[in-house]
Amino acid sequence: MKVNTDVERCAERRVDASRVAAVAESLVDVDEAAALAEMFRLLGDPTRVRILYALLEAGELCVCDIAAVVDTSETKVSQAMRLLRSAAVVRNRRDGRNIIYRLDDAHVRLLLDLSREHVAHGEDGER
């Protein structure tokens, strides 16, 4: 439980020290945070977002059809799929010369659904 003590920090009496310690204790650890950030980062690109929503709706699609649906180049799709694949967000299988992708995670599906509601409703969270 190492906390920054060497550098700039507001006066110790001013911060709610006990709460800070409590939150720091139960906070998601560095590795987990890195994994989460990495996952969000992959969703943080318009092309990849559209691809994922396309898969969410279609179930399965080959690269070629993804490119058509999302209206982009196959190269771009290919690169996107490599990233998403290595993060286990999607999985693929071969069917003849086509390689068919689908979402490989129920959580991601929920995440996409939930997120769409978020932007749909705009900023009416709870005010």
- Which residues sit at the interface with DNA, rule CB under 7 A? 10-11, 14, 41, 44-45, 47, 62-64, 73-79, 81-83, 92, 94, 96-100
How remote is the C-alpha of 49 from its chain's centroid?
9
Query: How crowded is the C-beta side of 49, counted as CA atoms within 13 Å?
Result: 11
Residues 6+ apart with CB under 8 A from 38: 87
CB of 68 to DNA, least distance (A): 9
CB of 49 to DNA, least distance (A): 11
Neighbours of 35 (CB within 10 A): 13
User: Token pair of 70, please?
Assistant: 């999302």
CB of 19 to DNA, least distance (A): 14
- Residue 6 binds which of DNA, a second copy, none (CB < 5-8 A, kind-dependent): none
Nearer to a second copy, 19 or 94 (CB): 19
Nearer to a second copy, 94 or 120 (CB): 120
Tokens 């068919």 belong to: 100
- Residue 57 binds which of DNA, a second copy, none (CB < 5-8 A, kind-dependent): a second copy
Residues 6+ apart with CB under 8 A from 52: 43, 84, 89, 90, 103, 108, 112
Nearer to DNA, 28 or 75 (CB): 75
CB of 68 to a second copy, least distance (A): 5
